[in-house]
Structure 1
Amino acid sequence: MRLGITGHRGLPEQSEKLVRAALQREVQRHRPDDLVGVSCIADGPDSWFAQAVLDHGGRIEVVIPASSYREGLPAWHHATYDELLQRAAEVHRTGLDESTSEAHMAGSEILVGLVDELVAVWDGQPARGYGGTADVVAYAERNGVTARVLWPEGATRD
């Protein structure tokens, strides 16, 4: 089973706890020897999911939206990003340089094309900018990839 991840970044601490637990439950539904998690490994749900897949004994593949993507992530996340990238069984790149909303959406489109199902940490609201979680869910559904929404009871975005 090839699972992809998309989701809201910058969640409050209480929501992070709820989402991490939900992601672990989702990952544990699958046999580790069959599980490949595909992620852009940004801070938040992307990296929590990738780590959960690895902890469960699965493999990860990473999609890098742009060559400058890492620099656009928070500095405190760089060590986690680097570690997850090193543990990736395969790395996919868009070929783009600048880390823009368009590059992020291009990365998400590649991710959707690689998976059987998309896990979306999504509050159900419209995207706040191009390439947001709602856009990725809509793209997946247009392309026949099931999006499994995880938004635990009690989770908030702001």
Structure 2
Amino acid sequence: MGITGHRGLSAYVERQVRQLLHEALRNEDPAELTGVSCIADGPDAWFAEAVLRCGGRLEVVIPAEEYREGLPEWHHPTYDELLRRAAEVHRTGMVASDEAAHMTGSEILVGLSDRLLAVWDGLPPRGYGGTADVVAYAERVGVPVQVLWPCGATR
């Protein structure tokens, strides 16, 4: 199961999304659960943490060698811990952490997943490689998408 989602959500929306992620995972058999994430701040990391809490296996996709440096500094300890706990790490081979690398990483993530959770407000993308593009890609290649978005929430 893979994850894609909007970053920069408010604390109020974060609490709701964490609950939705918990509900999405609660009936999963830990022995069969593999979560695939790019472990960015926000839904990527929340999902990875939830998978590990459930006893599942975590696989990480790193979109670019400079990816970590592009994430907020306050997130680096969480990123490093999740990366350390990953059972497997997949890399795109790209260096610059740009939109193309992010989309390539997401395509690898979707390819490793039999379904995709999307913390998505349903709106068009704000830039190439965002959540809406990942959802569209998953749908094009036949990976089922489950949208998790709190009622009335905004970005």
TM-score by length of 1: 0.97
Q: How does 1:20-59 map to 2 (within 5 A)?
A: 20-59=18-57
Give, as a single letter, the amino acid of the residue that structure 1 aligns with 2:68. R
Cα distance in 2 for partners of 1:114, 1:29 equals 21
In structure 1, runs of 5+ residues without a counterpart are: none
Distance, in Å, in 2 between the alignment partners of 1:98 and 1:70 is 11
> How big is each residue's C-alpha offset from its partner over 1:62-118, in whole Å with a ceiling of 9 and x where there is no partner?
000000000000000000000000000000000000000000000000000000000
Unaligned segments of structure 2, at least 5 residues: none
- 1:152 deviation in Å? 1.5
Structure 1 residue ranges (4+ consecutive) displaced by more than 6 angstroms after TM superposition: none
Q: SS of the residue aligned with 1:123?
A: coil
Aligned to 1:149: 147
What are the residue-to-residue correspondences of 1:1-158 with 2, within 5 Å?
Answer: 3-157=1-155
SS of equivalent to 2:4: strand
Using the alignment, how far apart are the partners of 1:59 and 1:24 within structure 2?
Answer: 15
**What is the alpha-carbon distance in structure 1 between the residues aligned to residue 48 and residue 26 of structure 2?**
13
Contact in 2 for aligned 1:65/1:93 (Cα 8 Å): yes
Deviates more, 1:23-32 or 1:11-20: 23-32
CA shift, 1:35, in A, is 0.1
What is the CA RMSD across the aligned residues, in angstroms? 0.6
SS of alignment partner, residue 16 of structure 1 = helix
Q: Percent identity?
A: 70
- Per the TM alignment, residue 29 of structure 1 is displaced from its structure 2 partner at its CA by 2.3
Structure 1 distance, partners of 2:126, 2:13, is: 18
Quick one: which amino acid aligns to residue 45 of structure 2? Answer: S
